[in-house]
Amino acid sequence: MGAVKVLVSGGAGYIGSHVTRQLAAAGHEVVVYDNLSTGNAWAVLGAELVVGDLADGDRLNALFAGHHFDAVLHFAASIVVPESVTEPVKYYGNNTCNTLGLLARIVRSGVRHFVFSSTAAVYGVPDVEAVTEEMALAPINPYGASKMMSERMLMDSAAAHPALDYVILRYFNVAGADPEGRIGQATPKATHLLKVACQAALGERDGVDIFGTDYPTPDGTGIRDYIHVEDLARAHLDALGYLERGGESQVLNVGYGCGASVREVLQTVKRVTGINFTVREAPRRPGDPARLIAANEKIGRVLGWTPRYGRLDTIVRDAWAWEKKLVRGGAPASARGG
């Protein structure tokens, strides 16, 4: 794939920054648009950063007027499931309405390719061992519903404007950090299990809560398909290359096809770190399904994507190295205290 000009919305955030770094390393011209509400300017490596909010129509119009983008990769979103239950208007506003505004400008500007950051939460509580892309969507929380609506808007826009094609990537549970320690999860008050567990191991938290121990799973705790952020980022580059080669629009799961329970993850963190931190049992959180595992045959077949960091130990080691770097002051001051 030749170099293209790419807009990355939310490119200063956890996942967006890893994708931005890989895009820049591959020789693409990258512009990041981010309001820095949860992202960090220091995490934008090899790209131009434009600070702005997707709800700011004038700022967005100026961005598209000043650049001719070949592709847009859209990450900017609110992502905390329990918060979406208590603050649904925030999620429909930020995730759905702001995506609509971005889509309008993409269509007007003649952007050819759109890679959308979606979620396995669109599936709801599927009664299957592994979720396929063809399953009916039935989200059980506003976060999943807001992403489902955005998917539909993108599909309808592409159907009405054949020059626009897309890949929708439905993420499962993203974790880990850049293996070279340049960037990682630094979102303030992050709720990701692996980050919370690593912070507990470092004494930055007083322990970890398991939300729900009575799920219909072998050890009673929720099971998730954990994917290394570097593998996830590479899936976006593979998707962009696929579209550049003339590939048809696709919806693809991004996961490893296997799951680990909350207890298994915490045991792995304890083993890798050598630290026995406190674990507490707590009631279930609203909107959490018991099990979410990806059927991932399609992404391998369509994009040729294969995992490189697919072991849970590897994910934990990279997450642990990043958290230690934050505590020791090896990352920018704004990254610490996340």
> Which residues are catalytic, by number?
143
Query: ∠ CA 156-162-167 to the nearest 5 degrees?
Result: 65
Strand partners, 136: none
Four-residue CA torsion sign, 326, 119, 130, 249: negative
CA-based end-to-end distance of the chain: 36
Residue 187: C-alpha distances to residues 15, 26, 131, 184 (Å): 11, 26, 28, 9
Task: Mark 78-113 as b/e (b = at least 16 C-beta within 10 Å).
Answer: bbbbebbbeeeeebbebbbbbbeebbebbbebebbb
> Which H/E stretch holds residue 301?
helix 297-303
Tokens of 25: 């390393």
Instruction: Report residue 209 as tokens.
Output: 């809560």
Specify the pairing of strand 223-224 against strand 260-261: antiparallel
Pairing of strands 165-171, 223-224: unpaired
Which among 208, 179, 186, 197 is positioned nearest to 268, based on CA atoms?
Answer: 197
* Phi, psi dihedral angles at 63 (to 5 degrees): -60, -45
- Residue keyed to tokens 């992502």: 79
* DSSP labels, 267-295: HHHHHHHT----EEEEPPPTT--SEE-B-
